[in-house]
Amino acid sequence: MWMWVVHRTTGVAIFFFLVVHVLDTALVRVSPEAYNDVIGTYKTPIYGIVEAGLVAAIALHAFNGIRIILVDTWPWALKHQRLMVWIVWGLFALLMIGFLPRHLSHVFGGA
Amino acid sequence: MTTAESKAPEVEPLRPIRSGRSRNHAEQWSWLFMRGSGVLLLVLIFTHLFINLFSGDGVNQIDFAFVAGKWASPLWQIWDFVMLVLAMIHGGNGMRLLINDYARRTWMRKTLKTLLAVCVTTIVVLGSLVIFTFDPCPLDASGDLLPGVPTFCEDVR
């Protein structure tokens, strides 16, 4: 039940980000300066944290999606579906532990 | 064997469910597409994030010259194009399912789905044009390179 809510919420968030992301990338057709100005805001601390949230949403949605496929097709996964949910959160935690220190040092480390 | 047993059971015809989702092959294809595209998107997007946001200088390395460097290779043009199309259809189809579930009135479902279709089409067309008409070395009115172009533009001139 909760994973169902997580999947829908992260899905909607990713969809709206994707629309904005295509629009900001489209600025490369306007001029290098226009693109660099807007991308510059992605490098500020606030957006840096938003990006971390976005990566978290994508990782959760991706791992939970794999769980859904496995539970649908693999009897073992269906039988151990509670364990599967813990595996999703475990993989998610591992990925974030690997990503966050490096990303946050990029964002808060200057440049 | 008695006649009662050999007779096929009466099955009530399927009624459309309240959400408005119709039960036909379209939904079967939708189900299959979400799974197939989902697995592909995992590979495409994790690689995209690893290269753009994790390796090198992370988010700080991203600027016009970085994009130009990547799109100089057809691999990344195709990569980004496939990612764009699959992600927009996957996301658009997901949003369609949410509209079916949460928009109770027919006119509201129709309005939201029309908006969604316009949005998905616009983003896919715009994004594809940007990838395939990208000019890494744009010039100003007097024919000079604009500031911010990658260094290889000087060599090409």
The amino acid at B9? P
Higher-scoring residue by pLDDT: B19, A62: A62
In a domain, B84, yes or no: yes
CA distance B27 to B49: 31
In a domain, B59, yes or no: yes
Say which CATH number the domain at B61 has: 1.20.1300.10
Mean pLDDT of B18-32: 73
Nearest CB neighbour to B126, from listed A26, A42, A99: A26
CA distance A97 to B110: 43
pLDDT tens across the length of chain A (111 residues): 789 999 999 999 999 999 999 999 999 998 898 999 999 988 888 999 999 999 999 999 999 999 999 998 888 888 888 899 999 999 999 999 999 999 988 888 854
In a domain, B122, yes or no: yes
Question: B residues 28-67 near A, CB within 8 Å?
Answer: 35, 38-39, 41-42, 45-46, 49, 53-54, 57-60, 62-65, 67
Contact B57 A66 (CB under 8 A): no
Q: Note the pLDDT tens digit of each residue in A91-109.
A: 999 999 999 999 988 888 8
CB A7 within 8 A of CB A51: no
Total structural domains within chain B: 1
Question: Within chain A, what is the greatest distance between any pair of CA atoms?
Answer: 55
Mention every residue, 6+ apart, whose C-beta is less than 8 A from residue A72.
Answer: A78, B35
Which of A6, A31, A108 to probe by mutation at the B interface, max B CB count within 10 Å?
A31
In a domain, B29, yes or no: no
pLDDT at B147: 85
Q: Note the pLDDT tens digit of each residue in B35-83.
A: 999 999 999 999 999 999 898 888 888 999 899 999 999 999 999 999 9
Write down all domains in chain A, each with its CATH number in brackets. Answer: 2-108 (1.20.1300.10)
How does DSSP classify residue B24? S
Residue B15 has pLDDT above 80, yes or no: no
In a domain, B52, yes or no: yes
Ordered alpha helix ranges (H), chain B: 3-6, 25-49, 64-71, 74-102, 106-132, 152-156
Ordered alpha helix ranges (H), A27-44: 32-42
Residue of B nearest to A13 (CA): B91
Domain limits for position B88: 34-134+146-152
Read off φ and ψ for residue B116, nearest 5 degrees: -65, -45
pLDDT at B126: 96
pLDDT at A69: 92
CB pairs under 8 A between A and B: 108
In a domain, B76, yes or no: yes
Q: Note the pLDDT tens digit of each residue in B82-132.
A: 999 999 999 999 999 999 999 989 999 999 999 999 999 999 999 999 999
CA distance B7 to A17: 56
